[in-house]
Amino acid sequence: MKRILLLGAGLSASTLIKYLLDHADENNWQLRVVDRSLDLVKHKLGGNPNGVALSFNALDRNERWEELLQADLVISMLPARFHIEIAKDCLELKKHLITPSYISPEMSALNEEVRNAGLIFMNEIGVDPGLDHMSAMRIIDSIKGQGGDIIGFKSYCGGLVAPESDTNPWNYKFTWNPRNVVLAAQGGMACYIDRHQYKYIPYTQVFTRLDTISIDGYGDFEGYANRDSLSYRHIYGLDDIPTIYRGTLRKPGFSKDWNVFVQLGLTDDHLIVQDSENLTPRTFINAFLPFEEETPVEEKWMNACFPLGITDISKYEWLGLFDGSTKLGLKDATAAQILEKILWDKWVLEPHDKDMLVMVHQFTFLLNEEKRFIESSMVNLGDDQEHTAMSKTVGYPVGICAKLILNHQISERGVLLPIKPEVYNPILDELEELGITFQELEKVV
């Protein structure tokens, strides 16, 4: 019997756990799941005899060592910053490893040792990154295989709320880590290339430069630039491409309204706000507005919004920003942490809500003296609060990859991305059977 050790049983692991258990008998697997909450693990295993619930501190090397030693494959669903320590242990113990997170420089530095040890450390095998790589590379390799020359590639992805659950004026609810939403696009310039011209967008301008994307049956979306599009040229074998751009999707109007928070500094995550535990939403936002003793906070907020093209502040009223009676109770918090708390109370998914994952690729290429265009789009809706669209589009690729590794169907070794046909073809094919499908439209332009 082969042992799979899964570190972390949070929301993104729900569908992964179900998939691995569903395929355990036929593959002779035992799934051992570790989380600080033993009750959570037991709930997700549902009494399946092929699952073992464990509870210990997976961040403690001494506590995890024995389980790592007995595993055939380790899957780390821990926060990304902890993957490298797990990876070092896996290298020492000669264990294969899967993580859904971006390859860090520290992880990349292990590549030669991992390859020489005959191991697979598969990274970026979730949804974004992951499903974006695989679905894009299948089309890229197809175009190149026909002799085509790709001259433009744009890719967008967004975790959103399903249409039937879109019940607030922001057309948005948290379907993933809310901290990542508040801190989106921070940390440097957004950079991409457009028809051979390098373009750079500072954080303060990211939410003002938007693309419009339409999907049949789901309407319009707006896309803002991700921080780094240029590195994907090398990853996808498109080093000389004239245009490459990666963006995040939201419903129309979101970015314009969000930009107010950016311009006022409410998304800053560095400075500790003084006396933060005693702030109400009203006193919090007032701290970032001019001192005008006789001017109401609502009017000062309106004055800040007007230069940004916003004349209606009802969305902010709906968030409770002008509430002066409810203390937020966050001690030594940054502005971003306080804003996250305010938003969480309003943007939380209700028990009956469903989320939605949207991904779109656009390719422009030359083939047989024609300029052609392919748009590939995928929309997936969550089943419920446990098996969300996010959980499915992360969990299924990780689970299928685990099956490929344990069945010796991946020949490449080292610190890897899922960009080779031996990886992406079987995963994408099985995802179609599981209801995660891409619709393609090709035309001459």
Mean pLDDT across the stretch 368-372? 96
**Predicted local distance difference test score (pLDDT) of residue 237:** 97
Of 279, 258, 263, nearest in space to 334 by CA: 279
**Predicted local distance difference test score (pLDDT) of residue 175:** 86
Of 383, 12, 392, nearest in space to 165 by CA: 383
**Predicted local distance difference test score (pLDDT) of residue 399:** 98
pLDDT digits 0-9 by tens, 35-82: 999 999 999 999 999 999 999 999 999 999 999 999 999 999 999 999
CA-CA distance, 323 to 317, in Å (whole number)? 9
Average pLDDT, the chain: 96
Mean pLDDT across the stretch 21-45? 97
Mean pLDDT across the stretch 143-172? 97
Contact 359, 246 (CB under 8 A): no
Q: Are both 201 and 148 inside the same structural domain?
A: yes
Q: Are both 224 and 363 inside the same structural domain?
A: yes
pLDDT category at 385 given cuts 50, 70, 90 is confident
CA trace torsion 88, 89, 95, 100 (10° rounding): -60
Q: Are both 208 and 149 inside the same structural domain?
A: yes
pLDDT at 177 over 90: no
CA-CA distance, 55 to 39, in Å (whole number)? 9
- List the structure tokens of 75: 């899957």
Amino acid identity, position 92: E
Residue at 407 is within a domain: no
197 bridge partner residues: 194
373 bridge partner residues: 364, 443
Number of domains in the chain: 3
**Predicted local distance difference test score (pLDDT) of residue 30:** 98
Q: Are both 240 and 382 inside the same structural domain?
A: yes
Q: Are both 245 and 375 inside the same structural domain?
A: yes
pLDDT digits 0-9 by tens, 178-193: 999 999 999 889 999 9
Q: Are both 52 and 144 inside the same structural domain?
A: no
CA-CA distance, 133 to 125, in Å (whole number)? 8
Mean pLDDT across the stretch 103-125? 98
pLDDT digits 0-9 by tens, 423-443: 999 999 999 999 999 999 999
- List the structure tokens of 233: 């040229």
pLDDT category at 264 given cuts 50, 70, 90 is very high
CA-CA distance, 204 to 125, in Å (whole number)? 31
More confident residue, 11 or 9: 9
Three-state secondary-structure class, residue 406: helix
Residue 272, φ and ψ in degrees, nearest 5:
-80, 125
CA-CA distance, 349 to 352, in Å (whole number)? 8
**Lowest mean pLDDT, pick from 69-78, 179-188, 218-227, 310-319:** 179-188
**Predicted local distance difference test score (pLDDT) of residue 47:** 96
Q: Are both 243 and 275 inside the same structural domain?
A: no
**DSSP character at residue 334:** B
Q: Are both 293 and 239 inside the same structural domain?
A: no
Q: What share of the chain is helix, strand, coil (3-state, %, to 5)?
A: 40, 25, 35
**Predicted local distance difference test score (pLDDT) of residue 187:** 82
pLDDT category at 410 given cuts 50, 70, 90 is very high
Looking up tokens 């975790």 gives: 159
Contact 15, 43 (CB under 8 A): no
List CB contacts of 217: < 8 A, sequence separation 6 or more. 379
Q: Are both 312 and 228 inside the same structural domain?
A: no
- List the structure tokens of 441: 């439209």
Q: Are both 171 and 98 inside the same structural domain?
A: no
CA-CA distance, 349 to 345, in Å (whole number)? 10
pLDDT category at 176 given cuts 50, 70, 90 is confident
Q: Are both 55 and 112 inside the same structural domain?
A: yes
Of 387, 405, 438, the domain-final residue: 387
Q: The pTM is what? A: 0.94
**Predicted local distance difference test score (pLDDT) of residue 358:** 98
**Predicted local distance difference test score (pLDDT) of residue 304:** 97
Q: 334: domain range?
A: 258-347
pLDDT at 208 over 90: yes
pLDDT category at 419 given cuts 50, 70, 90 is very high
pLDDT at 12 over 90: no
